[in-house]
Amino acid sequence: MSNKECLIFQLIAILFLVAEITSKFEFTNVMCTSLDKEFGDFEHCYLKSVNRSYKYVSVKYNLLKSPVTKIKVNLAMFKRFNGYRPFMYNVTVDACRFLKNRKSSPVINFWFNVIENYTNFNHLCPFNHDISLEKLPVETVNFQVTDVLPFPEGDYLIETNWIAYDIKRAELKFYGTIS
């Protein structure tokens, strides 16, 4: 490499670094759908902006058929190009097995680390109570997706499907932007 090429290369590297450090995640929407209202339904599901620096997501699902001893979670990520397209992940785990051994799925564990302190889903099976995710700060997600594992800029959708006894019961969609 000539000195000039070397300098250009360094400049580009610095630009990337700066872009990464200043990138920011924002939730833009959260949507919850119960696909089987006899099994359970959402009591609430919203994104709230308290002020410019404090925004959070709260979700509460009332479980009507408890206890639940068999549950699978599918997590698929999409990125918007020309419409939302599958991007990077599409994984399904047996939640009971995962909760016993968190290392069994690094992808699910990455996201579980984000929500763990804000949910009552953080114990071993069975589940015999309503499931909630309360006041998950956007800042926590921001740290995980821009510092822990930097994602490229863009609009994202994280879709989660909740499958109990091999039937899809609920769908949660988290929309966000990294800019």
Contact call for residue 107 and ligand NAG (CB under 6 A): no
If one asks whether residue 54 binds ligand NAG (CB under 6 A), the answer comes out as yes
Give, as one character, the DSSP assignment of residue 145.
I
Out of 6, 50, 64, 148, the only residue in the binding site for ligand NAG (CB under 6 A) is 50
Using CB under 6 A, which residues numbered 5 to 24 contact ligand NAG?
none
Q: Where are the alpha helices (DSSP H) in 23-121?
A: 95-100, 106-115
Cα 44 to Cα 34, 172, 177, distances in angstroms: 11, 12, 23
**Interface with ligand NAG (CB under 6 A), residue from 90, 104, 120, 179:** 90
- 81 lines the binding site for ligand NAG (CB under 6 A): no
Considering the complex, state which of residue 129 and residue 173 has its C-beta at the smaller distance from ligand NAG: 173
Q: Quote the least distance from Cβ 176 to ligand NAG, whole Å.
A: 16
Q: Which is nearer to ligand NAG, 109 or 177 (CB)?
A: 109
User: Is the Cβ–Cβ distance between 104 and 98 less than 8 Å?
Assistant: yes
Helix (H, G, I), strand (E, B), or coil: what is residue 12?
helix
Of 101, 107, 93, 91, the closest CA to residue 149 belongs to 107
Among 2, 22, 51, 101, binds ligand NAG (CB under 6 A): 51
Instruction: Please select the residue that binds ligand NAG; options are 35, 76, 96, 125, rule is CB under 6 A.
Output: 76
Identify each DSSP E strand in the chain by its residue range: 25-34, 40-49, 55-63, 71-80, 84-94, 131-137, 154-164, 167-178
- The residue from 86, 126, 152, 154 that contacts ligand NAG (CB under 6 A) is 86
3-state secondary structure at position 123: coil
Q: Which residues bind ligand NAG (CB under 6 A)?
A: 50-51, 53-54, 76, 86, 90, 113, 117, 140
